[in-house]
Amino acid sequence: MNSKKIKPLELNFCGIKFDSPLVLLSGCVGFGEEYTRIKGFSNTDAGAICLKGTTLEPRLGNPAHRLCETPMGLINAIGLQNPGAAYVIEQILPALDFSETRFIANVSGSTLEEYVQVTRLFDDSPIDAIEINISCPNVKEGGVVFGNDPEMSARVVAACRAVTNKPLITKLSPNQTNIADNAQRCIEAGSDAFAVINTLMGMAIDVEKRQPIIGNNQGGLSGPAIKPVALLKVHQVYQVCKAHNIPIIGQGGISTAEDALEFLIAGASAVGVGTALFYEPLILPEINNGIKNYMQRHGIDHVAQLTGTLSLND
């Protein structure tokens, strides 16, 4: 590739071009258009957008309450509400403007077969890449149950790999003992990239009622509160990824350019923004500019040159 032609924030992610390292995270921006209701918000400020977790059949999701704010964080238990893969592909994808950014499907299921079927459907669609969510904490079957078992994770990845040639991103759970081990197994099973991390399981209690605030009793914790955990997990997963040139979408609590830079330095090639959009919807240009300014100050031409530049203390 002729590096002179690449803009500073542009990157090649598994063969697809991202105009920015910022990725809008699954479950935070609906099916890609919701935030464009806000004047000043543009999908062009994101390198890619991950759509809401999609299953084979429509799902109504969990009962109220689905959300609860905690110190610098948010617990959610949406329960994968979605209209089903066929609807997403037939009704939603055609209305998206693919000239503005890249769109990534987020695949979920309660059985291995369901992951495969949904992946196969998206393979036959204009979607740019497929993220398999083996780390959703809010459904009773599948999700994190698969993601916390390296053997099962690898089987899901291998089965999905067999039915698609699109870039395959595996979304890893932080709720497991050895995330690096799991990543290694998923690489062997054919994963092209990783999303690190999904939410941490958590709970909040209404002391007057002595009841969990979340209808589902427990949920996934996101937002600035989980950033240090996420950063360490990215660092750990990068140790197994670097030898294979496997990129990571680092995520978990990113809300400033400095947060994003930390993740890039720790080993991420791209960085996700989710919960922070709820706080400040127009944050994307600010983060993009902050990264650019940092690169200028440090004489870095391309954002990819930042990935994994961490030097550990002796």
Partner 1 sequence: MLNQRNSIHIEEAEIITHQPFAGKQFYLQVKSPQIATLATPGSFVQLRCAASLPLRRPLSIMKTHPDGGTVDFIYKVVGKGTQLLSQQNTGSTLSLLGPIGQPFTLDPKFSLPLLIGGGVGIPPMVFLSDQLRKQSKHYNPLVIMGSEVPFPFTPAPSQYIVPGLPDGVIAAMPLLEDWGITSRLTTLQGYPGCFEGYVTDLAKTWLDNLTSEQQQKVAIFACGPHPMLAAVNNLAKAYQLPIQISLEEFMACGVGGCAGCTVPIQTPQGLAMKRVCVDGPVFNGHDVVFS
The contact set with partner 1 (CB under 8 A) reads: 27-30, 33-40, 52, 60-61, 64-69, 72, 74, 76, 78, 81, 95, 97, 223-224, 275, 277-282
End-to-end CA distance of the chain: 36
78 binds ligand FMN (CB under 6 A): yes
Torsion of CA 157, 159, 165, 169, to 10 degrees: -20
- What tokens appear for 167 in the block? 């870039």
Interaxial angle between packed helices 112-123 and 150-161, expressed in degrees from 0 to 180 and rounded to the nearest 10: 30
Instruction: Single out the residue of 21, 27, 142, 250 in contact with ligand FMN (rule: CB under 6 A).
Output: 27
Q: Which stretch binds ligand FMN (CB under 6 A): 71-79, 91-99, 148-156, 294-302?
A: 71-79
> Is 24 or 96 the residue whose CB approaches ligand FMN more closely?
24
Q: Shortest gap between Cβ of 13 and partner 1 (angstroms)? A: 23
Active site residues: 136
Question: Residue 25 binds what, of partner 1, ligand FMN, none (CB under 5 to 8 Å, by partner type)?
Answer: ligand FMN
> Is 62 or 117 the residue whose CB approaches partner 1 more closely?
62
> Please, which of residues 186-225 interact with ligand FMN by CB under 6 A?
198-199, 222-223
Interaxial angle between packed helices 257-266 and 227-241, expressed in degrees from 0 to 180 and rounded to the nearest 10: 30
Question: Residue 35 binds what, of partner 1, ligand FMN, none (CB under 5 to 8 Å, by partner type)?
Answer: partner 1
> Is 85 or 277 the residue whose CB approaches partner 1 more closely?
277
Q: Vertex 175, ends 73 and 151: CA angle to 5°?
A: 150
> Please, which of residues 135-164 interact with ligand FMN by CB under 6 A?
136
Query: Are the C-beta atoms of 147 and 176 separated by less than 8 Å?
Result: yes
Q: Shortest gap between Cβ of 153 and partner 1 (angstroms)? A: 26
Site string for ligand FMN, 271-290 (x = CB under 6 A): -xxxxx--------------
DSSP classification of residue 59: B
What's the CA gap between 272 and 126, in Å, rounded?
A: 22
Site string for ligand FMN, 218-257 (x = CB under 6 A): ----xx--x------------------------xxxx---
28 binds ligand FMN (CB under 6 A): yes
110 binds ligand FMN (CB under 6 A): no
Interacting residues of 115 by C-beta distance below 8 A, sequence separation 6+: 107, 108, 109, 132, 134, 142, 156, 159, 160
Question: Residue 9 binds what, of partner 1, ligand FMN, none (CB under 5 to 8 Å, by partner type)?
Answer: none
CA distance readout (Å), 77 to 52, 67, 137, 203, 264: 13, 7, 8, 10, 29
Q: Shortest gap between Cβ of 141 and partner 1 (angstroms)? A: 20
- What tokens appear for 149 in the block? 């078992």
Question: Residue 173 binds what, of ligand FMN, partner 1, none (CB under 5 to 8 Å, by partner type)?
Answer: none
CA distance readout (Å), 120 to 38, 43, 58, 231, 286: 34, 26, 17, 32, 37
By DSSP bridging, strand 205-206 and strand 22-24 are unpaired
Question: Residue 40 binds what, of ligand FMN, partner 1, none (CB under 5 to 8 Å, by partner type)?
Answer: partner 1
- Partnered with residue 202 across adjacent β-strands are 219
The residues of the shown chain that bind ligand FMN, judged by CB under 6 A, are 25-28, 52-53, 74, 76, 78, 80, 106, 133, 136, 171, 198-199, 222-223, 226, 251-254, 272-276
